[in-house]
Amino acid sequence: MTRKFLLSAIFSVSLLVTKAQTYNNPILAGFYPDPSICRVGNDYYITTSTFAYFPGLPIFHSTDLVNWKQIGNAMDRQEQLDQTNAGVSRGLFAPTIRYNKGTFYILCTLIDKKGNFIITAKDPKGPWSNPIWLPEVKGIDPSIDFVDDKAYVVYNNDAPDNKPLYSGHRTIRMYEFDINAMKVVGKEILLVNGGTDLSKKPIWIEAPHLFKKDGWFYLICAEGGTGYNHSEVVFRSKSVDGPYIPYEKNPILTQRHLDKQRKNPVTTTGHADFVETPDGKWYAVFLACRPYGDDIYNTGRETFLLPVEWKDGWPHILEGNEEVPYTLPVPLPALTKKVNNPFGGNVSFKDDFNSKKFDDRYLFLRNPEMDAYSLTAKSGFLQLSLRPQTATERKSPSFLGSRQHNLKGYAATSMHFTPASEKEKAGLMIFQSENNYYFLCKSIENGSPVVQLYRSPSKGKKDGELLASQPLTSSKSLYLKIEAKASTYAFYFAEKNNKWKLLKDGVDASFLSTKVAGGFVGSLFALYGTSNGEPTTSVATYDWFQYKGNDDGLKK
């Protein structure tokens, strides 16, 4: 009996006999890559990469592995995080979250800056400490793991003697870690050279995690690069410092060998982390993508959840031609009375700006100048001060972002804005990087108000490309909406609520895809305004922001 048949049978019986709840993958939809998970009693916590966005490293909490709530961000103070001049896909790479004897730990990499660091907290909601830098730990993807009353840091590093045998030749290395002194001790130990089989020139062995089960030390890692050939592999040893033997049936998770023409594919699977439930069940969180074309996706790398089955002392996630399922029975049915995950499925989010603090899900670019944003200057509104910085620059423009969670859906807002010159523009954008975005905005032409749609400037050029423009009859409220249709975007405006007018349809979405734009991030809808290099006192006032996903039909 294949595991695919077994999963299907369990799923069918659960529905027929118990009418069991089911959950949807991904559990964190949209740009939530490199997930790491830990359990404390009956509570589960996840964090993910955020790259050059602020605040960094979201913290999610669940009691049943399927209903998730964001409870904070681990790096939410400017003093913790220097992202000056960072490209959007630089910054914070691949955190690991762990718990030990009353303290939470996160290890992470701040790329291009000081490298690897550790932060701690007594409460996962925060506050988290300032970073303690680990200069001995080179490379990326550090994980702190507690085994047999000792702590170890495992991580990706260069080839031995920094002499790679081929492009992508990397290693997994380890130090013992003193949690009292908060530093590594002893000698660096080489655990894996190259990957599962050095003779086959495996690339980018990374994202290691170490744990012990039934007398064996297990090392799970990603391999194949964090693109279409991504996978998860496993090694084990009777000693913590090796030798680590690869599983002969590796990889334990990948989708790279499946038909690219299959319906509603999930691809790029890997970078997993395991968790064990109190009743002895095992689950893996991992990143994966939902393309709408040949390796084309705008939502970025997302967080999925699948059961882990143990066979003959080895973990299995998917085998053979099994596809990542979009729907599965909930892991803990006794705890899950209702599946209502605000970060999975068709995500819906509405902010009327009635709070005095920003919702934890919002992202700013790099280190924001917070005096450009106010939720209190006008009660029930967001006031966004235009500044000279633009989204094209590696600076901190007036930018408040929220992820595109679904292939299909829309973001909309209501805005009051009176531009003082043709250089001043404010509105709603869909943003992937400094070089790849669309901007739907209000401005003026020849002294009269207009709604405009721009594409980001071509390389070497300062000004964006104007794709569409229409005059406005009023200088009062302007409603803006961007609809995602998987492979295209449509841009709307209205001068009266719900009286939408199409400005431009069929706009190429692949321009914002990872395949075209590059990098490691997904797309964000953002409230954004700029004076394009000129000093100004102009302010854009937003009444509300709404996101609504519509991925119905992407279930199997």
Above 80 in pLDDT, residue 12?
no
Residue 19 inside a domain? The answer is: no
Backbone angles phi, psi at 62, to 5 degrees: -150, 155
Q: What is the count of structural domains for the chain? A: 2
Sign of CA dihedral 193, 167, 48, 266: negative
Q: Is residue 6 part of a domain?
A: no
393 noted as active-site residue? no
Residue 520 lies in a domain: yes
The span from the CA of 77 to the CA of 54, in Å, is 9
- Residue 13 reports pLDDT greater than 50: no
Q: Are residues 172 and 284 both part of a single domain?
A: yes
Q: Which of 327, 361, 390 is at the close of a domain?
A: 327
Question: What is the predicted pLDDT for the residue at 548?
Answer: 98
* Same-domain pairing of 136 and 267: yes
Looking up residue 453, the CATH number of its domain turns out to be 2.60.120.200
Question: Does residue 503 sit within a domain?
Answer: yes
The helix/strand/coil state of 461 is coil
Are 382 and 486 in the same domain? yes
Asked if 176 and 152 touch (Cβ cutoff 8 Å), the reply is: yes
pLDDT of residue 554: 62
SS3 state of residue 6? helix
81 — pLDDT class (breaks 50, 70, 90) = very high
pLDDT range class, residue 284, cuts 50, 70, 90: very high
pLDDT of residue 15: 43
Whether 14 shows a pLDDT value over 60: the answer reads no
Q: Answer yes or no: do 373 and 310 share one domain.
A: no
Q: What pTM did the predictor assign?
A: 0.94
Domain extent, residue 456, equals 348-549
- Does residue 337 lie within any of the structural domains? no
For the question of residue 197 being annotated catalytic, the response is: no
Q: CA-CA-CA-CA torsion for 541, 542, 543, 545, nearest 10 degrees?
A: -170
In this structure, the answer to whether residues 368 and 261 fall within a common structural domain is no
Q: Kindly state the average pLDDT of the residues 454-471.
A: 89
Domain assignment of residue 334, yes or no: no
CA atoms within 13 A on the CB side of 97: 29
Residue ending a domain, choose from 292, 327, 362? 327
**pLDDT tens column, 214-268:** 999 999 999 999 999 999 999 999 999 999 999 999 999 999 999 999 999 999 9
In a domain? residue 1: no
**Domain-embedded: residue 338:** no
Tell me the mean pLDDT in the region 442-470: 91
| Residues 291 and 368 reside in one and the same domain | no
Nearest to 35 by CA among 352, 285, 288, 338: 285
Judge if 389 and 469 occupy the same domain.
yes
Please, which pLDDT band fits residue 330 given cuts at 50, 70 and 90?
very high
Same-domain status, 42 and 172: yes
Share of the chain above pLDDT 70, in %: 96
- Sign of the C-alpha dihedral, residues 494, 499, 501, 506? positive
Strand, coil or helix: what is 538? coil
Distance CA 521, CA 7 (A): 32
Same domain, 489 and 356: yes
Read off the pLDDT of each residue in 419-444 and give the average, rounded to a whole number: 97
Check residue 462 and give its pLDDT.
73
Q: Which of 34, 76, 141, 434 is catalytic?
A: 34
pLDDT tens sequence across 95-145: 999 999 999 999 999 999 999 999 999 999 999 999 999 999 999 999 999
How far is 59 from 62, CA to CA, in rounded Å? 10
What span, in angstroms and rounded, lies between the C-alpha atoms of 332 and 345?
19
Per-residue pLDDT at 10: 46
Catalytic residue among 64, 206, 351, 551, which?
A: 206
Q: How confident is the model at residue 30 (pLDDT cuts 50, 70, 90)?
A: very high
Domain end: 327, 360, 383, which one? Answer: 327
The pLDDT confidence band at residue 512, using thresholds 50, 70 and 90, is: very high
Token pair of 554 as six digits = 């992407």
Does 190 share its domain with 250?
A: yes
Q: Is the confidence at residue 302, as pLDDT, over 70?
A: yes
Considering the domain architecture, whether residues 206 and 281 belong to the same structural domain is answered as: yes
| Same structural domain, 450 and 399 | yes
CATH number for the domain spanning 107: value is: 2.115.10.20
* Conformational region of residue 17, where left means phi above 0, alpha means psi within -120 to 50, and beta covers everything else: alpha
